Amino acid sequence: MNWTMIGVFLALFVFVTVLGFVAARWRYGDLTQLHEWGLGGRRFGTVVTWFLLGGDVYTAYTFIAVPALVFGAGAIGFFALPYTIIVYPLVFLVLPRLWWVSHKHNYVTGADFVRGRYGSPTLALLVALTGILATMPYIALQLVGIEVIIAALGFHAGGWAADLPLIIAFVVLAAYTYTSGLRAPALISIVKDLLIYITVIAAVIIIPMQLGGFGKIFAAVPHAKMLLAAPPAASLGSYGAFATLAFGSALALFAYPHTMTGVLSGKNPRVLRRNMALLPAYTLVLGLLALLGFMALAAGVDKLPAFASGFQQYKANFAVPALILHSFPSWFSGVAFAAIVIGALVPAAIMSIAAANLFTRNIYREYFRPQCSSAEEARVAKWASLVVKAGALIFVLELPSIYAIQFQLLGGVWIAQIIPAVALGLYTRWWHRGGLALGWLCGMVVGTWMVASLHFAGTVYPLHLFGFTIPAYAALWGLILNLIVAFVFTLIFRALHLAEGQDATAPGDYTGQSAQ
Amino acid sequence: MTSSTNGKKRSSWRLLLLVPFIATLWVPFYNRVEPTFIGIPFFYWYLLLWAPLSALITWIVFSRNDSPDNDR
């Protein structure tokens, strides 16, 4: 046991926990209202939104999962870079429309919007269920990150005691989310980012110096991991996988409930647009962190006996913690580990709040208690946030996790299937709600089937078409089928004159041109 | 009113946002080692460079739109 490291870690953890509870009083609002608890009163400005959206994207995914993939599989792991580069122009173009229409009609979730747009509680239910389901493996990824760090801190107890620190972290997270709502992760993410930037700057300066420069680091990378393998004849090979993982992840990210929460809590669309130009600063950090995977390879941490048990249990996911332990004095390892754990707790809080908003608005109030008061609504959301986190625990315990990133990619396969209903709906009412529902069904079934056929260990499905092989992210295959089915059935249902549903929105609502 | 010409100007600026997509998703552009930069293969520093470049492009499009009625 290294008490210096654990002491620094615990001090930072306790500080952040206190902050989480204090957050309830920050920018005081009536926390018995759902839009106060779950959207921070829609009052966040550029800076807070920056930290909050940054907290959404840069998580255990950035610190543990991506470097682990780079460590284990090489260049393909760098798909996270184009992903986090193109996601901002995408959000920049589309989501301000969602902000305007949501502001006008008091929508709290994407499913609220779908319900208003298509007059279809059923379609809204599908969108809500997908959001809740897809959020769970993403939270699970955060829990894996926390688990790995706890192991790196030296808690190697057997049996149920091994899970105790994780459960404690989990209960603390659940408690302040319950009390303070979105204000807690918003406030904590400021501290989190400070810690992360300190850690990253130290890591990308000190570790390459210790290892003798980037030239030496890349010289230690095996040839096969250095670049993407050139595609064989009649196949897109790893190029297809790389580009579709990036593109599919970007599409998925902006359909996630927690991204919507981050977007809707901003005080106006200018705040959002300005942020889309500022957020790529995080992308640079993500890229530098991804290189930690190669640094771990060059340092040969997986061959050191001190880390053998960690690698045996957590595989490549242990690469970054091992590198940190190997390279830094123990007090700084404490800082770095606190940064990672807090960086996992913040998004877990935001995600569970977003999923809770969905449950409350689009399932509970819609189907069980249409007359419920807004205080009851906020209360149910608080409880739902606890249930979602418990669901995430099940994913951690039940699914294999050679690479933690597979959790996030699995969530992406599901969430991408709501894009036709939500994103296209922001621009046009052409699609028929029945067609969208059937498209969703086909996309979900095929996407899930593809991942299942890969035994949940991968999400890149090689489709054989006319003698040509196209390996691509299952989220995109599902989405393509989804769109085709939705298109065909829109035509069929319209020919049959099936009811279209009332559109509660007007064209001006999407641009703020209608009276506020 | 010049709102329709403004609208056209705005959307042509927005075409700039396509550039990061093409530059980072078309793998044959950058899947090679040379030229290296401080020992980092081209593949990696090229993608890293696109983070600030894409931010710059988004910022340009944002500031072109930055008038009181820009959020359309």
Among chain A residues, the shortest Cα distance to B13 is held by A93
Tell me the average pLDDT of chain A: 84
B41: tokens are: 């293969």
Which residues on chain A are in Cβ contact (under 8 Å) with B12? Answer: none
> Using CA atoms, how far apart are residues A504 and A105, in angstroms rounded to an integer?
9
Question: Which of A12-16, A230-234, A462-466 is predicted least confidently?
Answer: A230-234
Instruction: Provide the strand spans (E) within A423-500.
Output: 460-465, 468-473
The CA-atom distances, in angstroms, between B62 and each of A397, B10, B71 are 44, 10, 10
Assign 3-class secondary structure to A322-357: HHHHHHCCHHHHHHHHHHHHHHHHHHHHHHHHHHHH
Residue A222: asked if its preceding bond is cis (omega within 30°), the reply is no
CA distance A122 to chain B (A): 30
Q: What are the residues facing B40 on neighbouring strands?
A: B37
Q: Which pLDDT band, with edges at 50, 70 and 90, does B2 fall under? A: very low
Among A86, A243, A287, beta carbon nearest to B27:
A243
Higher pLDDT: A296 or A57? It is A296
**A262: pLDDT strictly greater than 80:** no
Q: Which of A465, A474, A230 is nearest to B27 (CA)?
A: A230
Which residues on chain A are in Cβ contact (under 8 Å) with B68? Answer: none
A89: tokens are: 């122009």
A314: tokens are: 């957590």
Amino acid identity for residue A347 in this structure? P
pLDDT (tens digit, 9 = 90+) per residue, A425-453?
A: 999 889 999 999 999 999 999 999 998 88
> Using CA atoms, how far apart are residues A356 and A373, in angstroms rounded to an integer?
16
Q: Are A319 and A300 in contact (CB under 8 A)?
A: no
Q: DSSP string of A12-48? A: HHHHHHHHHHHGGGTT---TTSHHHHHHGGG-B-HHH
Higher pLDDT: A164 or A360? It is A360
Residue A493 is predicted with a pLDDT of 92
Q: Which of A315, A334, A314, A316 is nearest to A324 (CA)?
A: A334
Answer yes or no: do B47 and A247 touch at CB < 8 A: no
Among A93, A277, A287, beta carbon nearest to B14:
A93
- Largest CA-CA distance found in chain B, in angstroms, rounded: 56
pLDDT (tens digit, 9 = 90+) per residue, B57-70?
A: 888 887 776 544 44
Residue B66 is predicted with a pLDDT of 54
Residue A79 is predicted with a pLDDT of 92
User: Which residue, among A85, A223, A273, would best test binding to B if mutated, counting the most B CBs under 10 Å from its CB?
Assistant: A85
Among B39, B66, B72, beta carbon nearest to A214:
B39
Among A84, A276, A284, beta carbon nearest to B52:
A284
Spell out the residues 6+ positions from residue A82 whose beta carbon is closer than 8 angstroms to its own. Answer: A242, A243, A246, A247, B24, B25, B47, B50
**A456: pLDDT strictly greater than 90:** no
Residue B68 is predicted with a pLDDT of 43
> Using CA atoms, how far apart are residues A77 and A405, in angstroms rounded to an integer?
10
pLDDT (tens digit, 9 = 90+) per residue, A217-242?
A: 998 888 888 888 888 777 788 888 89
A93: tokens are: 């173009």
- Burial string for A449-470 (b: 16+ CB within 10 Å, else e) reads ebbeeeebebbbbeeeeeeebb
**How many CB atoms sit inside 10 A of residue A151's CB?**
20
Q: Which pLDDT band, with edges at 50, 70 and 90, does B71 fall under? A: very low
Which residues on chain B are in Cβ contact (under 8 Å) with A277? Answer: 55, 58-59, 62
A228: tokens are: 């993407």
Spell out the residues 6+ positions from residue A207 whose beta carbon is closer than 8 angstroms to its own. Answer: A292, A295, A299, A323, A327
Q: Is A12 touching B (CB cutoff 8 A)?
A: no
Q: Is A175 touching B (CB cutoff 8 A)?
A: no
Among chain B residues, the shortest Cα distance to A92 is held by B58
Residues in chain B: 72
What are the sequence ranges of the domains in chain B? 7-64
Residue A228 is predicted with a pLDDT of 84
The CA-atom distances, in angstroms, between A380 and each of A128, A286, A442 are 15, 36, 32
pLDDT (tens digit, 9 = 90+) per residue, A267-322?
A: 788 877 777 777 777 888 889 889 999 999 998 888 888 888 888 888 888 999 99
User: Which residue, among A78, A84, A92, A227, would best test binding to B if mutated, counting the most B CBs under 10 Å from its CB?
Assistant: A227
User: Which residue, among B48, B60, B69, would best test binding to A if mutated, counting the most A CBs under 10 Å from its CB?
Assistant: B48
Amino acid identity for residue A493 in this structure? F
Residue A516 is predicted with a pLDDT of 46
> Using CA atoms, how far apart are residues A6 and B19, in angstroms rounded to an integer?
46
Q: Which pLDDT band, with edges at 50, 70 and 90, does A402 fall under? A: low
Phi, psi for residue A403 in degrees, rounded to 5? -120, 120
Q: DSSP string of A54-110? A: HHHHSSHIIIIIHHHHHHHHGGGGGGHHHHHHHHHHHHHHHHHHHHHHHHHHT--SH
**A10: pLDDT strictly greater than 50:** yes
Among B39, B50, B58, beta carbon nearest to A218:
B39
What are the sequence ranges of the domains in chain A? 3-510
Q: Are A78 and B44 in contact (CB under 8 A)?
A: yes
Q: Is A277 touching B (CB cutoff 8 A)?
A: yes
Domain A3-510: homologous superfamily in CATH: Sodium/glucose cotransporter (1.20.1730.10)
Residue B70 is predicted with a pLDDT of 46
Alpha helices of A401-473 — where are they, by DSSP H?
Answer: 405-415, 419-422, 433-453
> Using CA atoms, how far apart are residues A143 and A150, in angstroms rounded to an integer?
10
Residue B69 is predicted with a pLDDT of 45
Residue A163 is predicted with a pLDDT of 67
Amino acid identity for residue B62 in this structure? F
Residue A248 is predicted with a pLDDT of 92
Question: Which of A5-19, A48-62, A450-464, B47-61 is predicted least confidently?
Answer: A48-62
Q: Are B50 and B23 in contact (CB under 8 A)?
A: yes
Answer yes or no: do A92 and B72 touch at CB < 8 A: no
- Indicate the SS3 state at residue A145: helix
Q: Is B20 touching A (CB cutoff 8 A)?
A: yes
Spell out the residues 6+ positions from residue A218 whose beta carbon is closer than 8 angstroms to its own. Answer: A226, A294, A298, B36, B39, B40, B41
